[in-house]
Amino acid sequence: MTNKMHRAARKHIFTTTILAVFALCAWATSLHAQAVQQKATAYVYWTNNNNGTIGQATTTGTDVNQDFITTGEGFGGGGLTLDTDYIYWSGANGGSSTNIGRANLDGSGVNDDFITGASNPCGVAVNNTYIYWTGDVGSFIGRADLDGSGVNQDFIETGTGVCGLAVTASHIYWANYETESIGRASLSGTDVTLNFISGAGSGSGIAIHGKYIYFTSNGGTGIGRANVNGTDVNPNFITGLEGEIAFLSVNSKYIFWADWGDRGTCSNPGPTCTIGRANIDGTDVNQSFITGTDGGFGIAVTDGNP
């Protein structure tokens, strides 16, 4: 009788262990599937100039959330960028803002005062070492370590009117809407060329992907393109856009832009205050890819630059 009980107990323990192993494997598989799905989903983000929020949607235009992040009081629609861990935004609001904010990619951990003391920061960009920003009422590009320390408000002198900003493995690029030019400097802040590309049009946005620079042009009604070495400048790569494009962002498939209408005043109905999208070659232009933004301004996309 005792041996039978022992055998039954061992069988029960064995069966329980096997079931636990299967359950653990199923749980691990589920977590892996969720992680793969989350990693595979690409998102586009934008700042809403009129209400101090950041919106989010998939790059296919689904799961639109106009209030993904609520930023602090006094933050308008500024620039936007992201890396593998965080989303960053500038607080441009017409001249009085001084802050750059940061949050986790899931929208938690909002810190509106991540960096302070800038002069109405407009464009913002990040690489694996530093975060950079431009102040369109100031005359410099600022730089700080990724943890917000080591702030240098006067890293590169650019002159006023600078808003859009992008960074590559070797250079920093910026768009000056006053001089209608694109400037460039080395990552060390040297070799500054204020008119690296001239005749870019009076746009404020700039993005880089692969061998091309993309920029807003024609007063924000078009998108231009040039080689990253400054040649083959085409300010009319995409034309005839309504409203006014503030910023744009690019990944390997698409160009996205934020149209804030008449400086945040939206027409309804009409293709303004929307997120637009086109193929990377400039075809299949959709000015109303995402509607209902509240004066979309800054924009960033997964695996894009900025």
- pLDDT greater than 90 at residue 124: yes
- pLDDT greater than 80 at residue 97: no
Average pLDDT (149-174) is: 94
Ranges 57-66, 76-85, 256-265: which has the least confidence? 256-265
| Within-domain flag for 246 | yes
pLDDT, tens only, 2-27: 555 455 555 555 455 554 544 444 54
Backbone φ and ψ for 61, nearest 5 degrees, come out as: 95, 10
| Within-domain flag for 122 | yes
Do residue 114 and residue 233 come from a single domain? Answer: yes
| Within-domain flag for 306 | no
| Within-domain flag for 30 | yes
**Residues in contact with 134: Cβ distance below 8 Å, sequence separation at least 6, in sequence order:** 79, 121, 122, 123, 124, 141, 142, 158, 162, 163, 164, 165, 174
- pLDDT greater than 70 at residue 40: no
pLDDT, tens only, 199-239: 887 778 999 999 999 999 988 889 999 999 999 999 999 99
Q: Tell me: cis bond preceding 235? Omega within 30 of 0 counts.
A: no
Domain span at residue 96? 44-301
Distance CA 141, CA 138 (A): 9
Token digits for 151? 């702030």
Residue 73 confidence (pLDDT): 58
Ranges of beta strands (E only) in 91-205 are 100-104, 111-115, 121-126, 130-135, 140-145, 152-157, 162-167, 171-176, 181-186, 193-198
Q: Is the pTM of this model over 0.75?
A: yes
- Under DSSP, the state recorded for 262 is B
Q: Tell the residue number behind the tokens 């060390």, with chain if given.
A: 188
Q: Which helix (H) or strand (E) holds 215?
A: strand 212-217
- pLDDT greater than 70 at residue 31: no
Contact predicate 144/157, CB 8 Å = no
Do residue 34 and residue 63 come from a single domain? Answer: no
- pLDDT greater than 90 at residue 276: yes
pLDDT, tens only, 169-200: 999 999 998 899 999 999 999 999 999 999 88
Could you give the percent of the chain with pLDDT greater than 90? 56
Do residue 71 and residue 103 come from a single domain? Answer: yes
| Within-domain flag for 23 | yes
Do residue 180 and residue 72 come from a single domain? Answer: yes
Do residue 231 and residue 96 come from a single domain? Answer: yes
Residue 77 confidence (pLDDT): 64
Residue 76 confidence (pLDDT): 60
Backbone φ and ψ for 299, nearest 5 degrees, come out as: -150, 145
Nearest alpha-carbon partner for 122 in 186, 73, 177:
177
Could you give the percent of the chain with pLDDT greater than 70? 80
Do residue 30 and residue 117 come from a single domain? Answer: no
Do residue 129 and residue 213 come from a single domain? Answer: yes
| Within-domain flag for 257 | yes
Do residue 151 and residue 22 come from a single domain? Answer: no
Do residue 29 and residue 152 come from a single domain? Answer: no
Q: What is the maximum span of the chain, computed from C-alpha positions, in angstroms? A: 96
Token digits for 228? 């990253």
Ranges 122-131, 150-159, 255-264: which has the least confidence? 255-264
Do residue 9 and residue 116 come from a single domain? Answer: no
Total residue length of the chain = 306
Q: What total number of domains does the chain contain?
A: 2
Do residue 189 and residue 104 come from a single domain? Answer: yes
Ranges of beta strands (E only) in 35-145 are 43-48, 53-58, 65-70, 80-82, 86-90, 100-104, 111-115, 121-126, 130-135, 140-145
Residue 35 confidence (pLDDT): 40
Do residue 29 and residue 54 come from a single domain? Answer: no
Q: Is 20 helix (H, G, I), strand (E, B) or coil?
A: helix
Residue 252 confidence (pLDDT): 92
Residue 232 confidence (pLDDT): 95
